[in-house]
Copies of this chain bind each other. A is one copy, B any other.
């Protein structure tokens, strides 16, 4: 109920603070019989790990995962999988000042308002470091989806004013450049732009796009658990997200019905196709078998060294320069978090699809 549990069937329970001894996740509801190794998980954690790029925090963390339960002789047993990542580089920083201030754009103020006090070391539970646990669980969800040929690819669409040129889309580039952009030239331009922000001790926002292929039709529940609604819950649960749109999204508000509707056609082989995918692969909250496409706006890193105005707990207006090790941009490291939340949502509703029809249930049980 307090919001650190996510999911219905593949249910994850995350825990841990930025500067505690460890972070982790317990997965309840991973079916038995799936081959899982540490490497399956580490691969995704390494994509999120800080300290690898000029555009990410220099905090040195290996983010090495350990599997504490639920896997026996290389396969999931059907019982809870406990994953742990120890924090090894909590800098012995002096937090006495920051503990009395509210950093602009951070959750310092709202945590104090909610709980009466807060773990101020590195943002405590509100730190982006919390997403480590999500990425670890998401890696297992992605492995399951792969068994059903569902593929999730997220990437940086834009950083500040720099956007990729879709005609140059190159999937390999996503893992090749520091900014997770599938367009080498845009990545270079964005790097230059970021360099300038860093010189001004400032940061930048950006947009992540995510495309899901291979998802069968019929996934998502009508009314309150529409597939887009559940993805929206998952994506907006990522700290820095400020907007989300599916298919042509906000553009649809300016279109007419005739312009916006996707027309069905049988292709030459008699297969059902659509002439467009404005809807982004979801109709009435249910997947239609075409690619799921969405974009999400990520705000600029709130921690900047540039002088800002704020208040302290003693009733004073003060100026603040946020010290510490910060990313000038959240977007590239958030790409894998978007994939993780997408995977965690999809695995749930893919499984849930079975319960729509008594014939599918019978197929499974007989």
**B28→A4 contact, CB < 8 A:** yes
**A1→B78 contact, CB < 8 A:** no
CA distance A359 to B114 in the complex (A): 12
Interface string of A285-303 (1 = CB under 8 A from B): 1111100000001111111
Query: What chain B residues lie within 8 Å of A197 (beta carbons)?
Result: 256
A: number of interface residues (CB 8 Å):
163
Interface residues of A in 318-366 (CB under 8 A from B): 350-365
Partner of A363, one of B217, B299, B364: B364
Interface string of A85-103 (1 = CB under 8 A from B): 0000000000000000010
Copies in the complex: 4
Query: What chain B residues lie within 8 Å of A21 (beta carbons)?
Result: 68-69
**B109→A264 contact, CB < 8 A:** yes
Query: What chain B residues lie within 8 Å of A224 (beta carbons)?
Result: 3-6, 14, 233-234, 237
**B223→A14 contact, CB < 8 A:** yes
With contact pairs A237-B224, A237-B225 given, residues A9 and B1 touching in the complex (Cβ less than 8 Å): yes
**B308→A261 contact, CB < 8 A:** yes
CA distance A356 to B265 in the complex (A): 39
Residue on B nearest A101 in the bound complex, by CB: B264
A63: CB under 8 A from chain B? no
Tell me the minimal C-beta distance from A200 to chain B in angstroms.
8
With contact pairs A28-B4, A79-B124, A260-B105 given, residues A287 and B110 touching in the complex (Cβ less than 8 Å): yes
**B222→A309 contact, CB < 8 A:** no
Tell me the minimal C-beta distance from A138 to chain B in angstroms.
13
CA distance A246 to B237 in the complex (A): 13
**B28→A115 contact, CB < 8 A:** no
Determine chain A's interface SS by DSSP, over half rule.
mixed
Query: What chain B residues lie within 8 Å of A115 (beta carbons)?
Result: 32-33, 77-78, 218, 356-357
Query: What chain B residues lie within 8 Å of A354 (beta carbons)?
Result: 354, 361, 364-365
**B256→A311 contact, CB < 8 A:** no
Residue on B nearest A14 in the bound complex, by CB: B223
A169: CB under 8 A from chain B? no
A254: CB under 8 A from chain B? yes
**B358→A284 contact, CB < 8 A:** no
A-B contact pairs, 18 of them (CB 8 A): A1-B352, A3-B223, A5-B224, A13-B80, A14-B26, A15-B79, A16-B68, A79-B119, A110-B286, A116-B357, A160-B253, A232-B235, A242-B253, A244-B244, A250-B297, A255-B299, A255-B300, A266-B317
